[in-house]
């Protein structure tokens, strides 16, 4: 997979060379993602937006039409950057690149989005700053490529760089060969369709020692009974999800395969009965 990132702060990603490759010490150069990049499974290129500004000050922003506080990033500078990145990096035989624009006003970025991006050949990220990017950039890009405006949560960051690190990490850990155990992401919170945690948050996890400060590991996990362990894990996942994310339980309850009889009993015992009023429509 090829990932291009356009930003006014290339240093945020730890750029290693003039080609925009990421440094081993940067957030995309360490751990599993760094290893994937080292193997060539993902090719990161970081670009400085200011390279496409035409004035001596390398200006990338201007005051907003209609007034108001703050500055808006200029469509003409962004347009040139995008033209260059797309022309310089065609992935042979691949579908057109997808432009991803992080913004608090975008659609929520979810595990499902991450899984669909993991199937793409080329992602281009546009990191906004200030009040965001002139909206004509997205309108223009949509005429030639798929474009997603995505939000990583209901809060406002100072810039898109942190959002890009979040998105890239969520996507890259789903690429084949990145996680040591391929099953581990289907057992994670929000695990893929049909996974053990499909639509749920993962329950509690434990490791040695068996007793720590008088806290014991639940007996069932030491029983060797894999069926009982799997059932306990699902029960705990249901309880935790009901407390922390009742919206997910309502969504599961609305799907035919979402919750079994035992699941409903566990939820009822936990004080979260799933009845007609509790189901998402």
Residue nearest to ligand SAM (CB): 128
Could you confirm whether 257 is annotated as catalytic?
no
State the CB neighbour count (10 A cutoff) for residue 70: 11
Q: Is 173 a catalytic residue?
A: yes
When asked if residue 128 is in the footprint of ligand SAM (CB under 6 A), the reply is yes
Q: Does 20 bind ligand SAM (CB under 6 A)?
A: no
Q: What is the signed CA dihedral for 219, 223, 224, 227, rounded to 10 degrees?
A: -80
Task: Closer to ligand SAM by CB, 20 or 160: give it.
Answer: 160
Q: Exposed e or buried b for every residue in 75-108, given b needs 16+ CB within 10 A?
A: bebbbbbbeebbeeeeeeeeeebbbbbbbbebee
Please report where in the chains the tokens 């369709």 appear, as a residue.
193
Considering only residues 174 through 193, tell me which ones interact with ligand SAM, judged by CB under 6 A: none
Q: CB under 6 A: which stretch of 13-21, 90-98, 145-153, 177-185 binds ligand SAM?
A: 145-153
Question: If you search the block for the tokens 């201007």, which residue do you land on?
Answer: 62
| 156 in contact with ligand SAM (CB under 6 A) | yes
DSSP 6-61: EES-GGGG-B-STT-PBPTTSTTTSHHHHHHHHHTSSEEEEEEGGGG--STT---E
Judged by CB under 6 A, the residue of 155, 176, 209, 214 near ligand SAM is 155
Q: How far is the CB of 127 from ligand SAM (least distance, A)?
A: 6
* Residue 265 burial by Cβ neighbours in a 10 Å radius (0-12, 13-18, 19+): middle
96 is catalytic: no
Tokens of 119: 């199937």
8 binds ligand SAM (CB under 6 A): no
- Catalytic option among 64, 96, 104, 246: 104
Catalytic residue among 43, 140, 187, 188: 188
Residue 78 · residue 160 · CB < 8 Å: no
Residues 86-125 that bind ligand SAM (CB under 6 A): 102-105
State which of residues 111, 113, 116, 151 lies at the interface with ligand SAM (CB under 6 A).
151
| 159 contacts ligand SAM (rule: CB under 6 A) | yes
Site for ligand SAM (CB under 6 A): how many residues? 19
Angle between helices 226-244 and 246-253 (to 10 degrees): 110
Identify the active-site residue in 43, 62, 131, 140: 131
Active site amino acids: 104, 131, 173, 188
Contacts with ligand SAM, residue ranges (CB under 6 A): 102-105, 127-129, 131-132, 151-153, 155-160, 163
């Amino acid at each position: 997979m090829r990932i291009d990132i356009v930003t006014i702060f290339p240093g945020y990603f730890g750029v290693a060379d003039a080609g925009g490759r990421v440094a081993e010490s940067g957030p995309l150069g360490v751990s599993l993602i760094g290893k994937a990049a080292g193997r060539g499974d993902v090719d990161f290129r970081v670009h400085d937006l200011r390279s496409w500004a035409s004035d001596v000050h390398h200006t990338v922003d201007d005051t907003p039409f209609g007034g108001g506080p703050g500055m808006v990033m200029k469509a003409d500078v962004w347009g040139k950057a995008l033209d260059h990145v797309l022309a310089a990096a065609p992935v042979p035989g691949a579908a057109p690149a997808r432009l991803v624009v992080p913004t608090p006003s975008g659609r929520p970025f979810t595990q499902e989005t991450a899984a669909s991006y993991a199937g793409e050949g080329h992602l281009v990220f546009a990191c906004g700053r200030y009040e965001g990017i002139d909206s004509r950039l997205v309108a223009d890009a949509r005429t030639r490529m798929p474009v997603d405006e995505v939000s990583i949560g209901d809060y406002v960051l100072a810039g898109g760089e942190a959002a890009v690190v979040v998105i890239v990490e969520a996507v890259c850990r789903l690429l084949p060969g990145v996680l040591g155990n391929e099953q581990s992401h289907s057992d994670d919170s929000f695990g893929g369709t049909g996974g053990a945690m499909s639509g749920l948050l993962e329950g509690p996890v434990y490791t040695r020692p068996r007793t720590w400060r008088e806290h014991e590991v639940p007996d069932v996990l030491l029983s060797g009974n894999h069926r009982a362990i799997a059932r306990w894990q699902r029960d705990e996942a249901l309880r935790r999800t009901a407390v922390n994310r009742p919206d997910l339980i309502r969504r599961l309850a609305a799907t035919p395969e979402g919750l079994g009889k035992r699941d409903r009993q566990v939820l009822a015992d936990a004080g979260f009965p799933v009845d007609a009023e509790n189901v998402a429509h």
